[in-house]
Structure 1
Amino acid sequence: MTEWADVLDVYGSADEMPRLLARAAEVTDMRAPVWDELWSRLCHQGSVAPASYAALPALVQMARSRPDVAVDPALHLAAAIIGAMDVPAGAGSERDEHAEEIAALRQLASRKVGLVEARTDVIWTLLAVAAVEDLGAWSSHLEALVDGEIEADCPSCAEAVCVEVVDGVLVIVDEEGETDGIAVREAEPGDLGPAEVRLLELCREHGHGEVARELRQLFGRATCSLCGASFRIADALD
């Protein structure tokens, strides 16, 4: 059993974690205060702490207990913890240590893709899939479609390239946010790796054609406004 008083969350002692997790088990609204507090303590702006991993079994159990909730904050928080880049110093191979929880999350996340309907819910759910299945850059960068902006560095000249979503189309913009109408070129089959194929297949399987079209652009090629080089967006992400 976890001695929560001896475990640290993002802000300090995690001694309040049992109370928060017990309350969260009764709430499925992502906007509820208890979930705001859990996100803040366990995955604050992508940073996690030892308590984040200690909370994974409880979060997974919550998600497994309510499989028909389309957008479950327990699943999304657990996936964000697994996919976090800013991990505690000295953290080991968390994917190996939490293989059982990750296996459960994989099944849950892929199932949820068939339950969500709204565009943003589809994207966030695909992000959860990418995180638990370790789909490379897309474990953290799919949210760019929700934010409406992707920042990348040209692999040829290192110039910053900004791509924005305008009326569902990804276009290149300059430093002033002006666009000359140059759209990102959709990915050709040869541009797609296993991660991209997996996400597009999930969209096809569950009828999310609009999101699939945006993904094909995100997986495609941009043109640097400085040197004119064409490059895969995936190759220019941090």
Structure 2
Amino acid sequence: MTKHFGAVQALRGASFRIFPGEVVALMGDNGAGKSTLIKTICGVNTPDTGEILFEGRSISGWHPKAVQALGIETVYQDLALAPDLDTPANLFLGRERLMPGVLGALGVLARRSMRDEASKVLTDLNVRIKDVRAPVNNLSGGQQQSVAVARAVTWADKLVIMDEPTAALGVPQTQAVLALIRRVKESGRSVILISHSLPDVMQVADRVEVLRLGRRVAQLVTAETNDAQIVGAMTGAWTQEAAA
């Protein structure tokens, strides 16, 4: 896949693949094309050339809502939470449930139904939030990240994409998010993990795909590789072809 932004070529024939029930880390230095590739998969960007296949079906150039309808959700680095709303409201943001009958026709929200469903999702993911009715702005960074992931899991039955989910988190919060990623995988969903943290990647990813200057330069099985190989692929000091 290729993608230009004016004179800047962000993707220069980039490739990527992920299989069902797999956690794949997408790594690369700043400017490698990771965010552009993900936004193109999500439908935010339209590729200049190349094709995106999902379950054998071409989704190149699809609108983001159409991509979401396939069971794909993204947790962006800024989380995109509404800070003044509570956890259930954030989980159902843009997909609010209405009361049945006349009340629904008048736009009355089914708050209890949404709260019950949110509690079930959080319980299934082992996410502990003392008061789900509190504004998410009152939650810790790790809890806010968990709410964003829970929202994605609520609507994604195939693929969850996470952009730097542990950035700026402390050690306990980071471990909680990594445990959450494992539970998402155990639920049968696939996870694309964008991360600069090698320790995090080595803990949860089945494979690592490395981008450099807009191209995929390595596909590595985590259990069969080491930090030096990944860093070398990111910087150009190590190549998979030469190693083979």
Global fold match (TM > 0.5): no
- Answer 1 or 2: higher relative contact order, Cα 8 Å, separation at least 6: 2
For normalisation by structure 2, the TM-score amounts to 0.29
Question: TM-score when scaled to structure 1?
Answer: 0.29
Greater per-residue helix proportion: 1
